[in-house]
Amino acid sequence: MPQQRFPKIEIKHIAPHEITFVLSETDTSMANTLRRIMIAEVPTLAIDLVEYHENSSVLNDEYIAHRLGLIPIRYSPDGTLKGGDCHQAFVPHRECVCYDRCPRCSVEFDLDVNFDKVNMSRPEQERDLPLTVTSRDLIANNVQVSPAHFLNEEEQDNAHDEGISIVKLGQGQHLRLKAIARMGISKEHAKWCPVAVATYRFWPEITINQEACNNLTMEQKQELVDACPDRILELDEITGNLKPTEGAEELATFTEDLKYAQDAMKRRPEDDDYVQVTHSTDRFLFSVESSGAMDAEDILLSSLRVLKDRLNYLAAEVEKLKD
């Protein structure tokens, strides 16, 4: 019988738009499954249908619809800027019992910007400038849903615009449309992908052979310290021994520079290495960055929920086969 495993997650860094964590006591299959779910199977909202009433801008309907589809749509159950999991608030359009669309399966956004009307309220010195239509001009019929104008508060404070640019309007131009956002997953289209980055790497294990290092001079030890571009080694000021730097495991990569340097110091090729950097087979360092539709923490929690649902479904199907 295979050995039962109990995977653990240790949070290293967390922010609304990014999270770094360590997944341990499992193997590559589980790590890659979690990563693939975050990329392709976490449900989000995205604009899927655009109905035009007037478009006299320089861009055609299809171009603007493509831009609208790529605007991250946030679902905030508490009405704040927090981007949460929308799987309980909405159902996929194809599974809804409504004829066309309803509040259960879709959210409507209205956009109506007329250059001549807006231009009258602008300062005198800005009236000849083009008018930029942004994501802030999209008005939703659901107070819990809104476009993600910025990735985080820092980006918002440093920005010189009002949101994600859609198109620029000039004199006499008018854009009026209705955009329909629906829930979906990235397997169907990339616009539903909640992550900009979702990667993992094997946790490095640094082993220092102190017995072999005792035969090295201080200059040779310093050469080993300088050989690694990640600066994972340092000299102890008291003992003069090599030791890993603080947080070296998170910085270390499996470069050849350190190996070449210590091979040149060996008396015989078959001698043991002074420093070994190997990768763990049951510990992985994940880095996840949100696209803006969901907070990074909610992406992780939603991916775990999807994985649990898939495993429960598999277990139920196996039980049916036994019957």
More confident residue, 110 or 83: 110
Distances from the Cα of 133 to the Cα of 112, 136, 144, angstroms:
9, 8, 22
Domain count, the chain: 1
Binned at pLDDT 50, 70 and 90, residue 303 comes out as very high
Containing domain of residue 116, as a range?
A: 44-191
Q: In terms of residues, how long is the chain?
A: 323
Q: What backbone torsions phi and psi does residue 233 show, to the nearest 5 degrees? A: -120, 155
pLDDT of the residue at 1: 42
Q: What are phi and psi of 295, to 5 degrees?
A: -70, 150
Q: How confident is the model at residue 235 (pLDDT cuts 50, 70, 90)?
A: confident
Per-residue tokens: 65: 């619809």
Beta-carbon count within 10 A of 54 CB: 12
In 3D, which of 167, 107, 108 has the Cα closest to residue 134?
A: 167
What's the pLDDT band for 5 if we cut at 50, 70, 90? Answer: confident
CA torsion sign for 283, 284, 285, 290 is negative
Q: How confident is the model at residue 80 (pLDDT cuts 50, 70, 90)?
A: low
- Residue ranges in 115-252 assigned as alpha helix (H): 115-119, 153-158, 210-213, 218-227, 248-251
Amino acid at 156: Q
Kindly report the pTM of this predicted structure. Answer: 0.85
| pLDDT at residue 312 greater than cutoff 80 | yes
On average, the pLDDT of the chain sits at 88
Q: What is the pLDDT of residues 196-226, one digit of tens each?
A: 999 999 988 888 888 888 888 888 888 888 8
In a domain, 210, yes or no: no
- Is pLDDT of 316 > 50? yes
SS3 call for 275: strand
How would residue 81 be classed by pLDDT, with cut points 50, 70 and 90?
A: low
Domain assignment of residue 34, yes or no: no
Residue 11: Cβ within 10 Å count: 11
Asked whether residue 274 is domain-assigned, the answer is: no
User: What are the beta bridge partners of residue 99?
Assistant: none
Report pLDDT for 62.
95
Task: Give me the residues paired with residue 22 across strands.
Answer: 10, 285
Q: Residues 56-83: what's their mean pLDDT?
A: 87
CATH number at residue 82: 2.170.120.12
Sheet (strand 275-290) strand order: 8-15, 18-24, 275-290, 195-208
The answer to whether 23 touches 12, Cβ cutoff 8 Å, is no
DSSP 240-273: --EEEPTTHHHH----SHHHHHHHHH-SSTTSPP
**Residue 178 reports pLDDT greater than 90:** yes
- Assigned domain for 218 exists: no
* pLDDT (0 to 100) of residue 125: 74
**Cβ atoms of residues 134 and 162 within 8 Å:** yes
Which residue do the tokens 């990667």 mark? 199
Residue 144: inside a domain:
yes
Whether the per-residue pLDDT at 294 is higher than 50: the answer is yes
Is the CB of residue 105 less than 8 Å from the CB of residue 96? yes
230 vs 226: CA distance, rounded Å = 9
Residues 121-150 pLDDT 10s = 888 777 778 999 999 999 999 989 999 988
Of 145-159, 174-188, 308-322, the least confident: 145-159
Say how far apart CA 302 and CA 211 lie, in whole Å. Answer: 48
User: Phi/psi zone of residue 253: left (φ > 0), alpha (ψ -120 to 50 degrees), beta?
Assistant: beta
Residue 155 has pLDDT above 80, yes or no: no
CB 24 within 8 A of CB 7: yes
How far is residue 173's CA from residue 64's CA, in Å, rounded to a whole number?
Answer: 14
Q: Which helix (H) or strand (E) holds 235?
A: strand 233-235
Token pair for residue 82? 């927090």
Look at residue 315 and tell me if it is in a domain: no
Contact status, residue 138 vs residue 82, Cβ threshold 8 Å: no
DSSP state of 52: E
pLDDT at site 85: 84
